[in-house]
Structure 1
Amino acid sequence: MARALITWGGWEGHQPDVVARLFATWLEEAGMQVQVTDSLSCFDDPADLADLSLIVPVWTMSEIGKEQAENAAAAVASGVGLAGCHGGMCDAFRTNVTWQFMTGAQWVAHPGNDGVNYRVRMTSDHETVNGIGDFDVSSEQYYLHVDPAVKVHAVTDFPVVEGPHSPNGPVEMPVVFTKAWGNGRVYYNALGHQANVIDHGPAAELMRRGLLWAARK
């Protein structure tokens, strides 16, 4: 049976425990064996990591050990999938560049903070977004520094809220993207400030598909 590891922690405002349970439910419904932990010690054993089908980090900020990050990166490069959302994957472990290189982006701002009304637009026919129409969200709108190697499948438009970024003019910011890390598939979705943003409707379907797409087949 395919095995998934979900590890959660960090800033409590993102409800990492609730988001982790949501992801576990979707993966179990898809027939996967799921381990959920609130410790980063799960990254200590390279052999166990390499035996997984999927790693799902749900950590905002916090710190990861250098060897732990390298073990996770090696596992993904060997073919283990990596998937996550919002700050739980791309605002985790801000001081670890290996993590940022692997995940493909780093959060830097959310102008207007929570409760910004914005549209998510599909921009490809990739299987993670195909048939899901554009939709509106009221949440944090993530401004990311993004790896130019990623394949973008959904975007949002900046600026919605005025700020020092506004004089640069309109910017299409990735919301959903995929990339390769060695033999592994990496999926990221910028939605998910709290569980109620991604537990229903098209946002939920985007995230559910992304988790399953990334998992090693």
Structure 2
Amino acid sequence: MSKALIVWGGWNGHEPERVADHFRGMLERDGFEVEVSDSLESFADAEKLLGLDLIVPVWTMGRIEQKLVDNVSAAVQSGVGLAGCHGGMCDAFRENVDWQFMTGGQWVAHPGNDGVEYVVNVKHSSSPLVAGIEDFGVKSEQYYLHVDPAVEVLATTRFPVVEGPHSPNGPVDMPVVWTKRWGVGRVYYNSLGHVADIVRMPVVTELMRRGFLWAAEGKHEAGKAGTGRREAYSGMADNQL
């Protein structure tokens, strides 16, 4: 049975406990053994992390000890999947650039705050993570992020929708969903999920479900390729499934 760890906390405005509970139910329905924790000390046992298939952070802002980030990073480099959404993964631990490097991006703004109506444009490619999913609208925060150019972008949104100092730069397509590699581990991110009701939208739930399964499967695929769990970098440059 695949094992997942969900760690929730930080800013309560993102309803981390409710989001974590929704993710727990999703993963259990897909056959995962799930541990849910409200403490960052869950990242302290490096050996335990190496035995997981998936880590799901649901923690906005706050601070984290460098050793805990190092433990998560080592686990992901070994093949453990990392997957999350919104501020729970890419607006966590703003002072820790190692976390940002691993996750692939960092929130910097949400022009118009909550309640902005915008479209998520799905990029149809060879990735099965968005197969059969069409463009869809959402009313929520529209995340403007600083994004790692190494990510594979699976969905975008067009800025500006709300006018602001960024508007004179002209239209830009901002990544909403992406994947990347960290060592031999798989990383998945979806910027939707300001509150639990957004995560519960059927299309968002399905995107997250696929992302969880894809990220967790990376450990099995690394093992089939003969990669030892402590070998961090094995030339996995291809960003496809």
* Bin for the TM-score computed over the shorter chain: over 0.9
Q: What is the CA-CA distance between 1:48 and the residue it aligns to? A: 0.3
CA distance in 1, matches of 2:160, 2:201: 26
The answer to whether 1:145 aligns with 2:178 is: no
SS in 2 for 1:185: strand
CA distance in 2, matches of 1:124, 1:177: 13
CA distance in 1, matches of 2:56, 2:199: 15
Matched residues, percent identical?
65
What residue is the counterpart of 1:33 in the other structure? Answer: 33
Matched residue type, 2:159: F
Q: What is the CA-CA distance between 1:201 and the residue it aligns to? A: 2.1
What residue is the counterpart of 1:195 in the other structure? Answer: 196
CA distance in 2, matches of 1:201, 1:46: 35
Contact kept, 8 Å, 1:105 with 1:147, in 2: the verdict is yes
CA distance in 2, matches of 1:74, 1:155: 29
Matched residue type, 2:68: Q
Give structure 1 stretches of 5+ with no counterpart: none
What residue is the counterpart of 1:65 in the other structure? Answer: 65
SS in 2 for 1:64: coil
Q: Deviations over 1:134-169 (max 9, x none)?
A: 000000000000000000000000000000000000
CA distance in 1, matches of 2:188, 2:84: 7
Contact kept, 8 Å, 1:155 with 1:173, in 2: the verdict is yes
CA distance in 1, matches of 2:49, 2:143: 30
What residue is the counterpart of 1:101 in the other structure? Answer: 101
The answer to whether 1:206 aligns with 2:220 is: no
Contact kept, 8 Å, 1:158 with 1:171, in 2: the verdict is yes
Matched residue type, 2:187: V
CA distance in 2, matches of 1:168, 1:121: 20
User: Within 5 Å, which residues of 2 pair with 1:3-152?
Assistant: 3-125=3-125, 126-152=127-153
Compute the RMSD of aligned alpha carbons.
0.7
SS in 2 for 1:144: strand
Q: What is the CA-CA distance between 1:128 and the residue it aligns to? A: 1.3
Contact kept, 8 Å, 1:124 with 1:152, in 2: the verdict is no
Q: What is the CA-CA distance between 1:127 and the residue it aligns to? A: 1.4
Q: What is the CA-CA distance between 1:203 and the residue it aligns to? A: 1.6
Q: What is the CA-CA distance between 1:132 and the residue it aligns to? A: 0.5
What residue is the counterpart of 1:161 in the other structure? Answer: 162
Q: What is the CA-CA distance between 1:179 and the residue it aligns to? A: 0.1
Question: What is the TM-score when the length of structure 2 is the normalising length?
Answer: 0.89
Q: Deviations over 1:73-117 (max 9, x none)?
A: 000000000000000000000001110000000000000000000
CA distance in 2, matches of 1:91, 1:120: 20
CA distance in 1, matches of 2:83, 2:35: 15
CA distance in 1, matches of 2:204, 2:30: 18
SS in 1 for 2:130: coil
Matched residue type, 1:213: W
Matched residue type, 2:152: K
CA distance in 1, matches of 2:91, 2:34: 23
Give structure 2 stretches of 5+ with no counterpart: 221-241
